[in-house]
Amino acid sequence: MVLESPAEGHARRQATVEIPTAEPRQENAYLGELFRNAFPNNGAFLPLLGRDVAAFVVNYKTYFSQHNAGSKEPKTMLDPAPRLVLDGQLGMCTLGRSMKDANIIADIYRHTMDIIERAELLGGWRALPAKNIFDVEYWDLEQAKLKKSGKPPVFAGEIVLVTGAASGIGKACVEALLARGAAVAGLDLNPAVTGLFKRPDFLGIQCDVASIADISAAIDATVRAFGGLDMLVLNAGVFPGGTAIAQLDDDQWRKVMQVNVDANLALLRHSHPLLKLAPRGGRVTVIGSKNVPAPGHGAGAYSASKAALTQLARVAALEWGADNIRINTLHPDAVFDTGLWTEEVLAARAKHYGLTVEQYKKRNVLKTEVTSRDVAELAAEMLGPLFAKTTGAQLPVDGGNERVI
């Protein structure tokens, strides 16, 4: 979605002037109202496509049926949803299955606005008759192109928010989701996230997930950039290192709980009004840990926090099923291409077990190395149609851990 407030003046003028055409695809759909129910606490708003767009679709189908009946050959109807919305308060909003498509439409209408304004100054303008418009819209070459076009990517037209997106599993999740056609907002404390990918379907946001204000602002920015939120990947977390319970101080405990549990609760709570509006249903993938089913020495705070997060996800799955939101959890283990594992730490852990580094990386039943991409691919699939009937599930991504099995 492309949203431009500078166009609101043009939209107001067009909303008050009778434009001599009523053909729905070529004319504008006007939003009747703005629903302010997404972020009541901070005054932000979510613009929803409501009754006007529904009427637009009905009118377009009528227009198509009337003119298709007189065609020499039956035509295949295009997607009847509007690609351009003008509203006196909101401004101009263009929509497409991808940000590239939305940007193209926005670019075209920026020029169209200038032409309309100039034409009005010269005395007005008149659209082509409806039949002529239909013939242009449904000419043979366009129909042939439509028939040859393949299926859109699985997440085309959908928006995902990924936390901890600057590196490791989070970055791999962003890549997997972009490859599947989603528009992705990536959050991270590291400012490098803002320049992670130079493409219109990615929005990098520097964000401290432990800050409610940062979370609210990040979700608001996502909605304003892309038009909504369909999916969420809860990946951000901290691992404080090996500290026995007897030496675990309160500050360290609270910090781990704040990032690994409290922040994710806030993200779920703030995302819920948006996820329940997702046309294909809201979806959440939670990145847990092997330490939930099989905790380790010196990981008391981390293991407890991931267990709490997993329970939170299970309860959310129970509560949000009625809203058509599904929530599933992955439990990775020994993902060595992340910032948690330096060469020094790897060498020390391998030596502790009397193994080489390569042997240590494959210390599982399948004798295979688990990478960030492995976790990300499954995280993306869990958001897709293969898991459409699954919620509240927990899956290991660990090459087979004997303690988990």
In DSSP notation, 164-212 reads STTSHHHHHHHHHHHHTT-EEEEEESSGGGGGS--STTEEEEE--TT-H
The pLDDT assigned to 143 comes to 81
Mean confidence (pLDDT) of the chain: 86
Whole-number Å distance between alpha carbons of 49 and 323: 19
Higher pLDDT, residue 166 or 4 = 166
Where does residue 65 rank: exposed (0-12), middle (13-18), buried (19+ CB within 10 A)?
exposed
Structure tokens at 24: 């729905």
**If DSSP codes are grouped into helix, strand and coil, which group holds residue 397?**
strand
Element (H, E) at 264: helix 263-275
Q: What's the pLDDT band for 95 if we cut at 50, 70, 90?
A: confident
The answer to whether 230 and 280 have CB atoms below 8 angstroms apart is yes
Q: Any bridge partners for residue 233, and if so which?
A: 162, 285
Residue of 10, 3, 9, 97 lying closest to 45 (CA atoms): 3
When pLDDT is averaged across residues 100-124 and rounded to a whole number, the result is 90
In this prediction the pTM is 0.84
Give yes or no for residue 335 having a pLDDT over 90.
yes
Domains of the chain: 2-148 (no CATH), 159-397 (3.40.50.720)
* Per-residue tokens: 26: 């070529």
